[in-house]
Amino acid sequence: MATPRQKLNTKEHKNKHKVSEAQIAVHWKEEGYYRPPKKFIAQANLADPTFVKKFSEKRFPECFDNYASLLDWDKPWRKTLDASNPPFWKWFVGGKLNVCYNCVDRNLAKYKNKAALIFVPEPEGEAMTVITYQELYKRVNEVAAMLRDFAALKTGDRVTIHMPMIPELPITMLACARLGVVHSVVFGGFSGEACGLRAADSGSRVLIYADGYHRNGKWVDHKASADIAVQTAKKEGQEVDRVLVWKRYPGKYTSESPMIMGRDYFVDDVLKDYRGQTVQPVSQDAEAPLFLMYTSGTTGKPKGCQHRTGGYLAYVTGTAKYYQDIHPEDVYWCMADIGWITGHSYIVYGPLALAATSVLYEGVPQFPDAGRPWRIAERLDVNIFHTSPTAIRMLRKAGADEPKKYNYHFKHMTTVGEPIEPDVWRWYYDVVGKREAVIVDTWWQTETGGFLCSTKPALDPMKPGSAGPPVLGIYPVIWDENGEEVPAGSNKAGNICIRNPWPGIMQTIWGDPQRFVTQYYKKYNKNPRSKDWRDWPYYAADGAVLPADGYYRILGRVDDVINVAGHRLGTKEVESACLTLPEVAEAAVVPAVDEVKGRVPVVYISLKPGVLPNKAVQDKVTVTIETIIGKIARPKNIHVVPDMPKTRSGKIMRRVLAAISNRMDTGDITTLANPDIVEQIRVLVQGRDIGPLQEGPEDIKRFGQEP
Ligand code: WT7
């Protein structure tokens, strides 16, 4: 007999086309509040409620002057926001500044001898490297001189950086920022092909690489992927004429890949000619692009989110100061990778603009064992810690009691990237934080530059599992599919949007402004000709619920993006990779719940006539996905199915496959063109006996429903 819940599901599915987000009732246990520790409040940057009032809605947009004034400007801005051409906002109009100057030069007066970056190599026997602000200044200048004079990079040019977590990565980024060269950092774990596609899209003629790095106890030969990247870019019509290669161990090349004469150069060799050189920071317009960050969306092609100079730096500096409570005295460690937006905003730009000490760790958290992060924290006396639910789950699983063994003390901890289960939150709070640290659960996206929802660490109580209220100056709303507001306390889910622009929001999609408009603003815009910013809410593509207390709980993506371990993976990208194999006729990728990584991709393929299912095809699919995208996209399972469940118009019903992979109710399938296939696939995936059905999380229930 069907439970009431299943009945509801079936009814919903019958009306599939009419189902709105808001009709999905969300039942979850309300969690109790935790108060911020008194000791934390006593020293917090944001402890004065009158500061919060400065960001009231009627003070918009000038409220954000409070963030911009944390920076040093060469020329002050005339106007906070120019919204005359929605949704292409202009922030701090007329202002001029240099990001590198703000993160490096201006800290010399007071902090030149203070550690800016501390590099922790993965091999535990290898010494840590401390880079002071003075040393950072010198190194960044030399690299800037080299990029300008040797690589012939000019203000406005794009450069693609495919590097692991070594200090040369932020040094290179800051050198670009000094020149006004737009960097596009590609996560080190992406394949050479993925890097090449991004390099081509951004129009980079210079690639910056490292020879290799340590990861999980192994040496990764990274330079080899540079050759693939150059070839891939060339196929896309982009010539790369310089590949600059950093050595992980200066003076010692550690890659099997040969250097190509006239194209590949070792940075440590070339830099000899630039020793001691300094470069004037280029005074940049507040609206000049600072960097591109490619991210996955609903189509196969990743999009280059273009971030601006002034607004972005103001926003990350303000949020890092007030939400992460960074003071210059703090030792701050964010375990994310600089190759993602989290690393850009909250390892490099925010913390350095605040003169903090930012720790850079090369490797994986649980290497060589689950005590490693806590040994690093103890050794460096880290007091602000920042990581993802996936890392927390992993560390808890591998060593629930490890933190107790080490004498470190955090005042503040961040979680970011995916919803955190209240249980996992409590372990973070009790065991990792030793009940001494305040936690902020920060919801945001690559596109948004910085935090959108979070508790104010000294002022708001924490609630496990909820990101919390919107941050200063952000005014969200939840709408259903029909544009009706889903009210607080209604226990209904809907699409979270931000009603107003803010300085951290991306400027556009590189080379595709039309896609920028359709992707983020079209859905709830009623009048495309309107020149009033109030008509242009930002559509985040996340589902959310809002209880009466105003604490947003983010349910996950409502599009066909899968959040794997806090990283975005476009299902279409993975599907296109599968379809490059001559054996594969059709491919569908769906999310499956994973107890550590949150979600993982599961691949369904059907084969061309005459090709018999065998293990070799499955292995080929895995290798192909890893080659085209990278190991991060490796599927948990590959199911070879006789046919895909399809609508009468031939559309693959990914929702049905997602339900099967997660042992959820497949709902109404009577309208399919081939309903019998569903049971066949179910048996193939789950085996013969029908186990108990799972309720399943909201994002999987909704998966594939968006047009
Ligand atoms: C997606 C954005 C934010 C930087 C790292 C990821 C999910 C992010 C949270 C959170 C629940 C979260 C959303 C969002 N997400 N933070 N605190 N609680 N979900 O950036 O790769 O652009 O991914 O991550 O689904 O849309 P990203």
DSSP helix/strand/coil, 279: coil
Ligand 1, CB within 6 Å, residue ranges: 295, 341-342, 416-419, 441-446, 467, 542, 554, 556-557, 563, 566-568
Instruction: Indicate the burial class of 347 (C-beta count within 10 angstroms; 0-12, 13-18, 19 or more).
Output: buried
| Cβ–Cβ under 8 Å, residues 579 and 587 | yes
Nearest CA residue ID for atom 14, ligand 1? 445
Percent of the chain beyond pLDDT 70? Answer: 95
pLDDT at 280 over 50: yes
Dist. CA 282 → ligand 1 center (Å): 33
pLDDT at 2 over 80: no
Is the model more confident about 703 or about 106? 106
Nearest CA residue ID for atom 13, ligand 1? 556
Q: How far is CA 142 from the centre of its chain?
A: 30
Percent of the chain beyond pLDDT 90? Answer: 89
In this predicted model, what pLDDT tens digit does every residue of 358-376 receive, in sequence order? 999 999 999 999 999 999 9
Dist. CA 553 → ligand 1 center (Å): 12
Q: Which of 190, 334, 416, 444 to mutate to test the pocket of ligand 1 (most atoms within 8 A of CB)?
A: 444
Q: Which of 445, 474, 546, 573 to mutate to test the pocket of ligand 1 (most atoms within 8 A of CB)?
A: 445
Strands 284-285 and 289-295: unpaired
Is the model more confident about 14 or about 230? 230
Alpha-carbon span 331 to 385, nearest angstrom: 9
| Residue 242, φ and ψ in degrees, nearest 5 | -140, 130
In this predicted model, what pLDDT tens digit does every residue of 421-457 receive, in sequence order? 999 999 999 999 999 999 999 999 999 999 999 999 9
Half-sphere exposure of 336 (CA within 13 A, CB side): 25
Dist. CA 294 → ligand 1 center (Å): 15
Dist. CA 416 → ligand 1 center (Å): 7
Least confident of 581-595, 619-633, 657-671, 683-697: 683-697
Alpha-carbon span 630 to 114, nearest angstrom: 37
Dist. CA 418 → ligand 1 center (Å): 5
Nearest CA residue ID for atom 17, ligand 1? 443
CA Rg value for the chain: 25
Q: How far is CA 225 from the centre of its chain?
A: 22
Dist. CA 443 → ligand 1 center (Å): 6
Q: Which residues contact 126 (CB under 8 A, 6 or more apart)?
A: none
Computed over every residue of the chain, the mean pLDDT equals: 94
Index of the ligand 1 atom closest to the CA of residue 442: 17
Dist. CA 200 → ligand 1 center (Å): 27
Index of the ligand 1 atom closest to the CA of residue 420: 18
Q: Which residues contact 655 (CB under 8 A, 6 or more apart)?
A: 667, 703, 704, 705
